[in-house]
Structure 1
């Protein structure tokens, strides 16, 4: 392949990485906001969070993406394509992540909360000092799985002409006619990124567990 075609793939890789990083960051915001809201003592807050999590878990990310890119302009609101892609992915992943957050918080032993109450901690202090440090250790592995799912979902943006790795791969395939080689390269590219993300998640998991004096479960079983 010519240098120009390699540059196309590199540009697509950068877009894919941007979608993954920004989508993950925004998705985490949605996940924590909705997950903690599901545990709120206020029914209205719980209801809004429930509607978001159940609604977006039931909607395909592609439908959300099409709506943001093609339907919103008809209503007078035009989003920048990259932001639309990030938002669609974040809304979808955030809905799944909210259940991870809720489950991790609920997994903290009740005795820990009772001890915090006995120490006269405020609700915010109980959450910040007792609940979240322990819940984060439980969150990291499933959040890592969602991060890889987010990476794979970035390929959907090629359908709205956002020039990610898959979109640029299609251009290179059309220019060279080397279908098998190009798509094999895409498989390897996505696989390498997924492997790097997995390694990063394991590092975060070890650091979080070490902060509580624990050993990650996967290391105990080795």
Structure 2
């Protein structure tokens, strides 16, 4: 592998910040209310897929959900403006789309996260839905590309091998690294392990550097 980890990607690609109109994501500081909101919403997601109240309670829940939508709807912003996915100190960088991961290592030789799945992520028999893991791995792949200083890339393919059932309510470790570079191509690997070091799933993929004008 011939990676130059100290290289600013803008030296390789002067159009780095302008490919496909990608916004420049800078860290946001939305205030403590946003963290409280995310915490409550993550719990609401869990309850939305697990609660079984009476009909009257569902009516009240619907009223509150509609009230929340009405409160936030006038403030919908374009990508890269709202705080979601732009608060590195919060689980999942502040995005409800992402599993609640926390970055433990972000270096050119690899990225490491801690992640704890919950009831919201269950596919069946209290195991994490298989479709959630590619989302996690794809996020790791993007972090790896950024950590190594490679230019903006998109996922060309992502392959996942499921080795064991992934549990919820358990702190797991996910790791990702750049395996090889070939011009525009960055070949990446990732794995997910339980607290005992057992391999739960592993992935490999290709991250392809965008050309000028590619979205």
TM-score after normalising by structure 1: 0.31
Return the structure number with greater relative CO, CA threshold 8 A, min gap 6.
Answer: 1
Relative to its length, the structure with more strand (as a share) is 2
Bigger radius of gyration: 1
